[in-house]
Structure 1
């Protein structure tokens, strides 16, 4: 009996399984005493092309979710003035809306990842993105400051869990040697949002009303739901999956060390990003109307760095961390010096954005390695760590500015944080030599 069947390959693509056997009634072959069956897997060019197409669309679907998240997170910063006027609140109160979102990320990442452990990952991703869309639409209709504060907290809840489960799905769609690349492609949605989504949403909000930001994000979120439903392959939940199993990741020292690398090492990245507009206008002397161009350059650097960092992580996860950390430290010192000249400040905005984002795929992959039995929770916690880094960087940067050290001081603080993060990474590596990670 001869036939062909389509099967899913280990990398998540599709191949053709050719089943070749001998019929006992065949006149062309002498019938054996028992039917012999031989199977081979072949990938004709057309089938291989289809596999690559489905893989690309699946990762694009997950990246679209990152694009929606990045737009709702960062466009708020560019529309704070309009939101203050629209809700009749002060600047500090408007800043609390951003803090509420970050708090939602920190809390929501472990909670959703743990309680969604028994769900198929595709269904969890769909639920999280639908939650994000609905939460943003409630921000659109928020009648007052209190309701808006609650809706922004709710919008942040699915942020980390979505990136966590999306990273695990993407890593499972490709060969182990390409995990870093797959994760970086998912994270590319977040970085591309800083180049396209945030400037566009900011312009629409300033021109037609700031509430339209949340309609845009809601629409992108619903588009993501449709794409994930159609293109991301279904995989049943692990039979042993449970909340207890996911929370088991918190017992692993290497998980905490990886998170600490992100909190400390990435703090400097956010210290610069938070005060980049003040530095460019007050130190570099760049006109205020060119700040969007500076932010776009920073975002473009994030896109390039994220992709390059994914390639490096595929070669060596810890090696990437060891090299990127001191690179961040040096880049921030150079940024502090270059910020006194407009042309140099433009260049360093791109460089700092790029080298900082090179760290993200390596950290995400490191957490997957450190908690193989609780990948969703560990991966989600990375985004909690990055939001804590955001708060830490902004706080320390604001502190040294308040002390009168100037607007370049946050970059120098960030350089010190990067060196401290390198120290944590070295400690993690030394401990791993004594006790290798379980697989």
Structure 2
């Protein structure tokens, strides 16, 4: 006898409700803009750190908590929020999240002391914690199953553009006006996405969405991807958190050259996301394994050869080119192997990845007093190699 869940899964796959031909791309564009805005909001205080510090009369390390507290909130809140809203139509969830983004950005822009700014940041973080869990299933459900990888790639390109264009533009604008101006600009971008999604995204029960359930549920694969993604994130941010120090102290680049290399790093990340996104539909497993392996090579290469400028640039590009694709490929895998609802699986992946980011930054801080910054990249490379071994062991089991 069919269970209700089984019947719901088949109904979702057999009778997907997709908007009209022009509405789908329009909604996807709004979701891409939302991804860009959320990722810019997450990282913007890094570029405005000194300006906020002077304006609010707090130390730079205190301003840094606006970023670390944000990441910790996303890590802790993703899964509970996804579970708590699992029965709410995705249109209502997304419009609520974008309304929270608009409100929190306006609150941040109007903050005259550190406390209100921190509260506004935490509200944004709570919205982002759920955003990535629901956006993937909604976006891929707008299109045919055979292009899901390209849809996830488009979202990831938009998110990566935040580091390449969003944060630098916000830093530039804040430096020429006031740090509150780019914060307010985020509210305007969020409002555009909010209006578009509210007007064009159909309202339907979450369990009947075309991508509500994994296409090939596999509990072991789910656990493997979750573990490998968390190890990769921990490894990446054990080193990446101290990248500026590495490029100056180990590779010997001038401050001006370091700035250009950071742009090159972001560009490599964007290129990696674009290339991987085009291949995800055909090679989903290989895409994740390749991205993790390239990250391991890049980080270990920086540790071994980072004292020489040319190899340092090459391995820096490899590390940057893998950073975005690892998370993107893991998210795409969750749409395939999720043992239950894909939004819950994506929330678990997002939470694990953000926990890895926080753990990596903390591990790097513990290593620095004991060894030079190359030790952080060695540890990061070894952790990423561990992620490779996790994926390899699962492939051997399957093969």
Distance 1:408 1:239, change over 3 A: closer
Indicate the residue corresponding to 2:122 in structure 1: 153
Indicate the residue corresponding to 2:185 in structure 1: 216
Indicate the residue corresponding to 1:286 in structure 2: 253
For each residue in 1:49-91, what CA deviation from the matched residue of structure 2 results, as whole angstroms up to 9, or x when unmatched?
xx3x544332221111111011111121122222222221223
Runs of at least 5 residues in structure 1 that lack an aligned partner in the other structure: 1-8, 15-50, 434-439
Indicate the residue corresponding to 1:320 in structure 2: 287
* Residues 182-331 of structure 1: pairs in structure 2 closer than 5 A: 182-231=151-200, 233-238=201-206, 252=219, 254-331=221-298
TM-fit CA distance, 1:174: 2.3
TM-fit CA distance, 1:223: 1.5
- For 2:364 and 2:226, the matched residues in 1 are separated by 21
Give the conservation status (yes or no) of the 8 Å contact 1:318–1:429: no
Match among 92, 108, 112 for residue 143 of structure 1: 112
- For 2:205 and 2:367, the matched residues in 1 are separated by 48
Match among 360, 371, 385 for residue 393 of structure 1: 360
When normalised by structure 1's length, the TM-score is 0.79
Distance 1:240 1:308, change over 3 A: closer
- For 1:92 and 1:256, the matched residues in 2 are separated by 36
Query: Which structure is higher in helix share?
Result: 2
Give the conservation status (yes or no) of the 8 Å contact 2:53–2:59: yes
For each residue in 1:116-158, what CA deviation from the matched residue of structure 2 results, as whole angstroms up to 9, or x when unmatched?
2222212211211111221122122223222222222221111
- For 2:140 and 2:230, the matched residues in 1 are separated by 23
Indicate the residue corresponding to 1:165 in structure 2: 134
Distance 1:239 1:185, change over 3 A: closer
Which secondary structure state, in structure 1, belongs to the residue aligned with residue 69 of structure 2?
helix
- For 1:139 and 1:428, the matched residues in 2 are separated by 45
Runs of at least 5 residues in structure 2 that lack an aligned partner in the other structure: 1-14
TM-fit CA distance, 1:363: 0.6
- For 1:261 and 1:226, the matched residues in 2 are separated by 37
- For 2:117 and 2:87, the matched residues in 1 are separated by 32
- For 2:316 and 2:102, the matched residues in 1 are separated by 32
Match among 397, 404, 416 for residue 382 of structure 2: 416
TM-fit CA distance, 1:10: 5.5
Which secondary structure state, in structure 1, belongs to the residue aligned with residue 353 of structure 2?
helix
Q: Does 1:352 align with 2:330?
A: no
Give the conservation status (yes or no) of the 8 Å contact 2:45–2:63: no
Indicate the residue corresponding to 2:100 in structure 1: 131
Give the conservation status (yes or no) of the 8 Å contact 2:222–2:339: no
Give the conservation status (yes or no) of the 8 Å contact 2:30–2:197: yes
Indicate the residue corresponding to 2:8 in structure 1: none
Distance 1:90 1:355, change over 3 A: same
* Residues 68-87 of structure 1: pairs in structure 2 closer than 5 A: 68-87=37-56
Give the conservation status (yes or no) of the 8 Å contact 1:107–1:157: no
Distance 1:227 1:291, change over 3 A: farther
Distance 1:13 1:85, change over 3 A: same
Query: Which structure is higher in strand share?
Result: 1
Distance 1:340 1:254, change over 3 A: same
- For 2:187 and 2:271, the matched residues in 1 are separated by 27
TM-fit CA distance, 1:316: 2.8
Which secondary structure state, in structure 2, belongs to the residue aligned with residue 358 of structure 1?
helix
TM-fit CA distance, 1:252: 4.9
TM-fit CA distance, 1:304: 1.4
When normalised by structure 2's length, the TM-score is 0.86
Question: How well do the aligned residues superpose, as a CA RMSD in angstroms?
Answer: 2.6
- For 2:145 and 2:73, the matched residues in 1 are separated by 32
Higher relative contact order structure (alpha carbons within 8 Å, sequence separation ≥ 6): 2
Indicate the residue corresponding to 2:341 in structure 1: 374
Match among 2, 11, 35 for residue 66 of structure 1: 35
